[in-house]
Structure 1
Amino acid sequence: MVTAVEQRVVRSTAGEHRYDHLVLATGSEPVVLRGQRESATAHVLRTRADAARIRAALRPGARIVVVGAGWIGAEVATAAVRQGCDVTVVDSAATPLANALPAAIGDRTVPWYRGAGVTLRWGTAVDRITPTGLLLDDGAELAADAVVVGVGARPATSYLANNGVGVRTHRDGAVVVDARLRAAASNVYAIGDIASWPSSRFGTLRTEHWDHAAQSGAHVARAILGDARAYDPVPYVWSDQWGRCLQLVGHPVADAELVVDEGDGPDRWVAWWTSGGRLVAALAVNQPRLIRAARRSIERGDAVGAPAAAAGHPWSER
């Protein structure tokens, strides 16, 4: 465990480690609920070991409660249903994916849960995890053989509280970096979940997804070798849930206008956001080619008009 970050040296419980370049890549740690640490049947999903423990709990007929209907919660619930579990999903929001997408989009995924036989408890918060399940804030008790909690994560950066290299963090623990992902001086970088970076398109972003982790790591490797280019990708996230693949590119900024095209039905539709006459984000179900084209359009900064009648969306597929 890291105990101190100083000029040219990192101190840890394993000793001292000298460096020429330092890359901070400590990721996030999951938010936990009251009583969760004392429970033998409550789980989070952040590591391979976590996944193995959850997999062992997904037995046919097992009562599984998933707290949180975000990306992770939806995927865990999907896996549990496939294993023949009795699944309940609890979320304090009114629709799935509420922290990432507007209700108009999240609401479109509710029939997927219902079609899979999942019991839904929207607008309900968890008071605490108990030895036999969990207690909701409305006083109801849910019995469970296992509880999987997916209610968010925080940057794992407490070791930087008194660092000696000038690394600054936001209140949530995210590391402030410049356009080249430098956190301090010219030889300290931050990547992945912990980096709060300046996007030329969307302002300050912190992205907790695999694509950003891979891209930011590769960018810093090139920077250490002398590449001075700015880090400025179009964010991308995908999620396989309920037999569908959701893909989101860009960032739905606050003032963006949302349009939904029904496409070929509930398993093949697309939504997009425009701001200032340009595409800023797009989400599609089971349409990877369309999303790749949308990402290229956002990268180029293409101006968009009314949707083309034949295409159903306003961006070029080239």
Structure 2
Amino acid sequence: MSFPTIPIQTKRPLPKNCSFSASDWNVLSSFWHPVALSSEVKDKPVGVQLLDALVVLYRTPEGVNAARDVCMHRGAKLSLGSIRDGALVCGFHGFHYNCEGVCVRIPALPTGSPIPNKLRLQTYLCAERYGFVWVCLAEKPRASLPDWPSIENGSGTVAVVPPGTWQSSAARHVENFNDICHVPWVHTGTFGGPETPIEPYDVSVTDTRLSFQADITERVRYTESGAGPTYRQAVYSYELTLPFASSVKVLDPNTSHVYRIYDIASPVSASCIRIFQVVVDESRLTPAEALIDFTMRINAEDAPQVESQSPDQLPLDLRDEIHIPADRMSIEYRRALARLGLGAQAVS
């Protein structure tokens, strides 16, 4: 399979103390990443970090906007300011910026005085979908947002999980989410089933997605308190949208009930991520609060293992770690990241 060469649009300066290589930053900055819940960006500016860049989010009548978290006057953080009359106001000297990042008012200037044209923020592409605020640091994104219609089509109970922070690289987390080998060992308190061999499976590979399906013996979720574990066969269908967005559809063949988990690792830095997740229960048998609680318990089992991995960056040279047949998805993911241009020295 040949993969098209997609030109990287962004050539903006690297953030101060950038933890990524220049080539990796230029690749990753050209994709969309979630940075906050939509519900977090209300009547005050919100400061976030993406790929080591400090970003301010602010809501105006036109929607949510994103800009470099620096006032062009004296370099103060705009996230320490406020929203007034539909504008972002710096808390240091009161400079007002509109949805396009243009300074529209300076309180210290006499009425009628011109505002310098250079008083314009460095803005970023910003969008809202799936209950998240997404930002792309490049002038033009390489790809669109993940296509997850089940979150929006009313097919089931939708639960947005509170974001969590992991001391890990995004790719290590993504690989773990799509790994079926660890389930019986790590998830003993949630959905892990008995230790069984994993049958060979095929991975479908396109220029933007990886997917595979496997039959898994899992522990029945949401059993009554005090009841012993019971198990069932389920069909797991994974889909990974490059670079860091994953989903899994869990089908119970006996009842035809479907349970979906959507997961995105947003790179705060090379070694720190925020996890954004949405759960959809198409059976509608479980309340949203229980879906959230169960997902957070799963995360609590995963995080210590992923955070302990060494090196924390996912090796893209396949010779650097040992692989078994059940690692087929992991192998294809590492190859796909290398084809994107990550890990300039990687060998696939």
TM-score, normalised on structure 1? 0.24
The structure, 1 or 2, with the larger RCO (C-alpha pairs under 8 Å, 6+ apart) is 2
TM-score, normalised on structure 2? 0.22
